[in-house]
Structures are given as structure tokens and as C-alpha cells.
Amino acid sequence: MINSYGYSILRNPRFNKGTAFTLEEREKYGLVGIIPDEIETLETQILRIQEQLESFEKPINKYTYLMQLLENNETLFFKTITSEPAKFLPLVYTPTVGEACQRLGHITRRPRGLFISIDQKDNIKTILKNWPEQDIRFAVVTDGGRILGLGDLGINGIGIPIGKLILYTSCGGVPPEHTLPIILDVGTNNEEFLNDPLYPGLKRKRIRGKEFDDFVAAFVAAMYEVFPKICIQWEDLPGVDAIRILDTYRDKVCTFNDDIQGTAAIAIAGFISISRLMNKKFIDQRFLFMGAGAAAFGIADMLVKKFERDGLTREEALGQIWMFDVNGLLVSSRTDLVEHQLQFAHDCEPSDNFAEAILKIRPTAIVGVSTVGGAFNQQVIENISLVNERPIIFPYSNPTSHSECTAEQAYTWSKGKAIFASGSPFAPVEYQGRIFTPGQGNNVFIFPALGMAIFATEAKRVTDDMLLTASEAVAEQVTTADFEKGLIYPNVNDILKVSIKVAEKVAEHIFDGGLASVERPENIADFIKSKMYVPSYN
């Protein structure tokens, strides 16, 4: 009889160790001769991975290689990512994941995640039960309708949930076996995909309205029946849908939207850091947004909560926040505003010139969530620098090509005065003999730690107060030395240490608020650490 067990274990990413199997394991599993005799350590294997990655010039090729590693050896993959997060996170998530999504239908790989089409609306529970793991705690879910700043990518957007859950594990310690990427296929309005024979999704126009909402309702009900401890993170849904779905389910089940709430939390962490390190009161900040969609609303709404936490009334808080969209400044005389925008519309003169609006409003910070590359032009940067000694410039749109300005533009046009943070990474900038290190307002400092706290406590809900607590916990970890280098967020290479502290603070808030489903431990920090996944060969 042929022994195929050893061969099959090499193809199971959860249990595969490759050349690190011990002699005893090789004999036990029938691996002798199947792999070379040399028994290697995890560290030696990482050296090989790093050398092989260096042979690729294009980031997309490095992404493909790393995804193949994930499909082959889960432990080695996560150990590699955590060995140097600043180097590897941009390869497995933004900005590289955007190109990976665009090309997904043309990259043949092993399927990862669940694909649930609207045609299977009455069969969702069966599909969920097809997944090999029974205790799923986190699902990142998208319909592919607004992937990063790239638009409608249909089911090719599955790369986003896959990438986000990689970060849950590598940056927050959430065990990978408890995570599940899901794409809801409701068609696509992307004509290129509709005419592409290699596009693997439904080739029909995107379904919206009541039929879409009914499908989402059936999906949510099935999820909580099959996986009762699940937390659903919504990702990259079109703006109006994102807000409506969040409002529909946030008080009913454990769910949140990272584009709205996670982006808001990390932006506010930066604003808190800046206020603290400049010895200014947070309530003295004034914000002007370029863009008035879901991301802007999420940040603005959480800003209101932070202002209120720090002593302002709601009316006073709203007075500190202004928005500008494709039709100009949000003012009360406009008749084209949707409901969630009305509270941020002020009684003032209309304006269709962002640079001029800066001179009228005199904000301390401008925040770009428009996905319009270059929207913060030279006049914008010069004007915000004119009304502030240290202007705060946050071009938050992803990917890099959609950033409202580059780090070099911000530092150069502000004559080195800017406090800068972006959604996508930028390299350090030299200006007049000084080296400026651009901050990156990366949600990775928020949602993995939030996820770890939810996982450990089995939280019943996700509240804005939990996210605001995460913001404050991130900001606490930025030092004066960091700020002097231009940093307003912690070093990405310290992400695990940061996440543990953030998760501890959030978990404490969950216990204090009575939202936990487990008993409060004596030591929350030790409790969090005991629940974390550590990539190692046992």
C-alpha cells in the first residue's frame, strides 16, 4: 500500500512545516525522502523566503509569491510577515493588494474564502457550513463595489478581505483558523469585467435597492445562526450602502465598518497625538474635509464624540467640522445633500474653491478622503500653511495614486512646516537638509487590536466608544522622540507591542461596559496575551 499521508500533510498549510519537520515527525508521517535530509529552523526558512523575494522586482510578483506561501505553509508565512512588518505589510495589503484585485481573474491560484452570490440567497447556510472550520469569530465581508480608490471590482475584491484578515493575525494575534474572508457577488457595473471571459463572477449589472438589502439580511441571519460568536467587518462597500448597512445592524449584532469607523479611529489617534505633543487642547482643532462620503462621515462623527468626551456640546463640536465635496462647501442652502451630510452643513456663503475655503474657515487640519489624486494642490498647501504655523495635512485616500498629495509636495509647498500623515505609505523626504518621516494613518493600528479584544472577550457589540478608546490607546504610545522625527503614529515594526496595549485598553472598556461574554480576568494584559496566535512550529 502506498503511504500518501506524508504527501498530504505537506499540502495542508495549517500543519506543513516543510524542511523543519523533525526526524521523529518525518518517520511518523512518512516524510523520509519526501523532503531533503537537512532539518532547518523557522529562521533559516525565512532567510530563504527573503532571498527569493529579492529576485522579484515588481511588488505584484512579491504579493503573488507570498500568497502562494500562505497557501503552502501558514506558520512560515505569518512568521515572515511579523519578522519585519514595515517591509511586508505593504506587499500583502495596501498598496499592492489593489493591483492584485484588479488582476485576480487572470491570476490562477487556489481559492481562498467564500464566494456567495445573490443567486444562492436561499442556500447561504449550506454554503457557510461548507467552510472547513466551525468556530469562526471574524469575517471580513465586501461586495467589491468600491475597492480602495479603484471602484467596482466585483468579486475580484476578495483580495481585500483576505488581506485584512492576514493583518488581523499578523498585527493583532487573532488565530487564523477563526477568520473567514467573504465576497458577496451581486454583479458588477465594471464593463471591462462584464466583457472579460476570465472574470469569474456574475456577469450582470450590480443589483441594488431592496433586492440587495434583502440579500444582506439573509446573509447576516445565516452568519449568526451558523457562527454564533461571529463579528462581521464590512469592507469597501459603496458609501451610501456602507452607512445604511452599518446603521441597520450595529445595535443588533457584533459588527463594524472599517472604512467608516476604523479610518475614523486612526485619523483621530493622529489628531490626539498632535494635540498632546504640541501641548494644545484637542477642542481647539478645526477640520476641513475634502470629500463628504462614508469615510469623511465616519471620521467626522467620531470627531464629534471626541469633542464631546473632552467637554464640548454637540452643537459646538459640529461647528469645528466642515466638509467640501464635488459641488463645493457643504452649506445649509444646498439642496443636494443626503441625510447624514446635513448636520455638517453650515450657514455660510457657498464656495466651490477648496483653497479659498481654507482662508475663510481657517482650519488647523485638512483631511483628504476624496480619492482624487492631487486634490491638495500647491495653492491648497500654501493656504493651509498661511493660516497655521504647523498645518496638519492628512491625504487619506488609497491607493497611492489616489492620494490627495504626496509627502514631498506637502513638505516642499509648506516649506517644511507640515505635520503629514497619509493613507498609503510614502518614503522619507529630504527638504533643505532635513529628513522628514511621513506618518501613515494606517487602520492596521486599530482593527487588529480591536479584533483581538473582541475575540478574547467575545464581545456582544462593537461601539464607537470602543473605537475611540482604541484611538486614545494608539496615541498614548507616540513619544516626543517620535514626534521630533515627524511621526504621529507608532513605528509599524512595533505593531504587535502596540496592538497588545490597545487590545488591553479596549478589552477593559468592554468589560466595564458589560459587553463581554466571558468572565473578567484578574490581569487583562496576561489574558490578551494568552489568547494570541504566535507563529511557531510546535
Backbone angles phi, psi at 346, to 5 degrees: -105, 155
Q: Is 229 a catalytic residue?
A: no
Angle, helices 159-172 vs 74-83, to 10°: value is 70
State the catalytic residue, choosing from 164, 305, 306, 505.
Answer: 164
Cα→Cα distances 316→55, 103, 288, 364, 471, Å: 56, 47, 15, 16, 21
Q: How far is CA 276 from the centre of its chain?
A: 25
Buried b (16+ CB within 10 A) or exposed e, 119-148: eebeebeebbeeeeeeebbbbbbbbbbbbb
Q: Is 164 a catalytic residue?
A: yes
Do 344 and 321 meet the contact criterion of CB atoms below 8 Å apart?
yes
**What is the CB neighbour count within 10 angstroms for residue 256?**
26
Q: Which residues are CB-neighbours of 365 under 8 A, at least 6 positions away?
A: 271, 285, 286, 287, 288, 391, 392, 393, 394
State the catalytic residue, choosing from 29, 93, 489, 537.
Answer: 93
Buried b (16+ CB within 10 A) or exposed e, 29-62: bbbeeebeeeebebeebbeebeeebeeeeeebeb
In the chain, the amino acid numbered 341 is Q
Q: What angle do CA 471, 530, 269 make, to 5 degrees?
A: 5
| Residues identified as active-site | 93, 164
